[in-house]
Chains A and B, each alone.
With several copies, the nearest count.
Chain A
């Protein structure tokens, strides 16, 4: 059984702490792939407001994580996604994948990020210095990246 951790939270996460938890008691891990997403500044952006669909979000995150574990033979993986208002420079999402080899760890990290971006029900609203707001539009390249993987099932 792979060790899967899924969390939606307003608070910041501590990636070192999460990595320690993921690896606790494991001796057959050769590598951990990780991705941390941040609120990127520019164009007068001040913050993002992150909304989600409670219930469905966790279901989709678990499905994505379990699919990655099966497909890449992971020892375990972790997805933490924040919600609420996040200022420029703040971390939004953490993905960790532990595997015997680096190929699986890094491949699974990409796989999970691609599916999260396109199939986890989160929405971002931008808040600008002039007080205006705008919902972020999806990017076609995210759909294209996800399409590489076929279906979510392994």
Chain B
């Protein structure tokens, strides 16, 4: 199962801190997953229709939308960080 995490205002907007789901058939990249999430409509469409607003980590490392993903990966979506 993919473990998907949402942080900061993405979590607020989506109303959940994350979810688990099977790797959707035909999806093998971050970009593919973003398309799937976007297709859900509503807040998902709003957020995942503007990928320039979000950052992605695959297995706790920063990744680009071109990064490949596999079953059992941990994929996190979040806004640009603001710590320090």
Residues on A facing B (Cβ under 8 Å): 37, 50-53, 55-56, 59, 81, 92-93, 102, 113, 116-125, 135-138, 142
| Per-residue interface assignment for chain B, residues 55 to 84, with 1 indicating a CB less than 8 Å from any chain A CB and 0 otherwise | 001001110000000000000101111111
Please state if B82 and A53 are interface contacts (CB–CB under 8 Å): no
> Known interface pairs A51-B7, A125-B8, A135-B8. Does A56 touch B84 (Cβ–Cβ under 8 Å)?
no
Please state if A116 and B84 are interface contacts (CB–CB under 8 Å): yes
The yes or no answer to B5 lying at the interface (CB within 8 A) is yes
Known contacts A50-B83, A92-B83, A93-B83; 7 additional CB pairs below 8 A are: A53-B78, A59-B61, A122-B82, A123-B79, A123-B81, A124-B83, A142-B84
Chain B residues with CB below 8 A from A53, complex form: 5, 7, 57, 60, 76, 78
Q: Quick one: which of B9, B12, B81 contacts A121, CB cutoff 8 A?
A: B81
Interface size on B, residues (CB 8 A): 17
* Most-contacted residue by chain B among A59, A102, A113, A121 (CB, 10 A): A121
Can you give 24 A-B contacts (C-beta < 8 A)?
A37-B84, A53-B5, A53-B7, A53-B60, A53-B76, A55-B60, A59-B60, A81-B83, A113-B84, A116-B83, A117-B82, A118-B80, A120-B83, A120-B84, A121-B57, A122-B83, A122-B84, A123-B79, A123-B82, A135-B8, A135-B9, A136-B82, A137-B82, A142-B84
Q: How many A-B pairs fall under 8 Å by CB?
A: 71
How many Å from the CB of B18 to the closest CB on chain A? 11
Please state if A120 and B8 are interface contacts (CB–CB under 8 Å): no
Please state if A121 and B84 are interface contacts (CB–CB under 8 Å): no
Please state if A122 and B76 are interface contacts (CB–CB under 8 Å): no
How many Å from the CB of A136 to the closest CB on chain B? 4
Q: Quick one: which of A55, A93, A125, A137 contacts B84, CB cutoff 8 A?
A: A93
* Bound-complex Cα distance A113 to B8 (A): 21
Chain B residues with CB below 8 A from A51, complex form: 7-8
> Known interface pairs A53-B57, A59-B60, A123-B8. Does A138 touch B82 (Cβ–Cβ under 8 Å)?
yes
* Most-contacted residue by chain B among A51, A52, A56, A122 (CB, 10 A): A56
